[in-house]
Structure 1
């Protein structure tokens, strides 16, 4: 495993991620309009109150190609009833975002994820949410409120989360994983993401 801030040759990567993070912060401020700007839980997350969720530390980790663990192996059900497995994702760079509706930072980053999904969809990069707590009605209300067009797994039974053991700490929501085209975890954002940083991680995985 290679931390993006400590990997050999990591100076250029660190500069890249730092620059991307700075751009992401600017983009975040611009994106928080409409329902996101007025959302009290989103405001709570920006205030740093850390209520109703276990906050990640915001760390960004990349895993070198030759040190990645074997492809993840899971099967789950989307809220529309579609059964989907990890094998269906092979050949695509995949973004998995672990969330639930009452998670304040999930509300802050929702517009960022949707913007990146829209940007990368033409390149064949796929996005899926993994909802860990909500009933279907609650999850769908969240998706409608934030105009999310990518689907989410109903993971109240924890099957997808269990398959990510060691990559997604239980209760540390949000967490975002980028899977390479083989289905291996290429990078992880633990905690609220920044758009520019995640864009850099996706672009890096797509270029492999």
Structure 2
């Protein structure tokens, strides 16, 4: 289900800010090329936001996978908590641009039990770790390149149809919201905050 008209108005206010900040938010070469519109052969989402009302959500997604640090991680570990999945890879320009916003929000919501998890769809573990060091990402990332366990867990649901994609899971592990393409910090803040509030 698409976002309601009132929500679209709220979210649209911040989209213009994102567009204005796009070329000035990073000194990263790939990100700058993307901001200048000069990146060739790159397909990404357009930032479309989809929200799903609790009554319309389907079954919880379940996965157990391995992080780039070699640790096992499962969605069920966070039962009762909101989980934010961000699908990315290191050379993806919008992934690089949105990285600081994701880190900021992961810290903001940590005290409310929200868990951010990166899902690397292309790189090996060493590249994923290098990205985390470069962009100072503190939350874990799953290496989903070989077995695609996380991507397959979303089969038949509102999955990651572009890179990057950010998916918010509610306290029961069901898809509550999705952003296809580069996420705006204020938009994701609203989506996560609203989902957290559902459990109060």
TM beyond 0.5? yes
**Which residue pairs with 2:66 in the alignment?**
77
What secondary structure sits across from 1:207 in the alignment? helix
Alpha-carbon distance change, 52 to 111 in structure 1, aligned in 2, over 3 angstroms: farther
TM-score (norm 2): 0.90
Rounded to whole Å, the distance in 1 between the matches of 2:112 and 2:183 is: 21
Is 1:54 matched up with 2:48?
no
Structure 1, gaps ≥5 residues long = 5-9
Trace 1:1-208 onto structure 2 (pairs within 5 A).
Answer: 2-4=1-3, 10-22=4-16, 24=18, 32=25, 37-51=26-40, 53-157=42-146, 158-165=148-155, 166-169=157-160, 172-208=162-198
Structure 2, gaps ≥5 residues long = none
TM-score (norm 1): 0.87
1:117-156 Cα distance to aligned partner (Å, 9 max, x none): 1111111111010001111111111111101111100111
Alpha-carbon distance change, 106 to 41 in structure 1, aligned in 2, over 3 angstroms: same
Say how many residue pairs are matched: 196
Contact 1:56 1:174 in 2 (8 A): yes
Shift of 1:23: 5.2
Deviant stretches of 4+, over 4 Å = 22-30
Shift of 1:49: 3.8
Rounded to whole Å, the distance in 1 between the matches of 2:2 and 2:71 is: 35
What secondary structure sits across from 1:38 in the alignment? coil
What secondary structure sits across from 2:87 in the alignment? strand
Rounded to whole Å, the distance in 1 between the matches of 2:194 and 2:125 is: 34
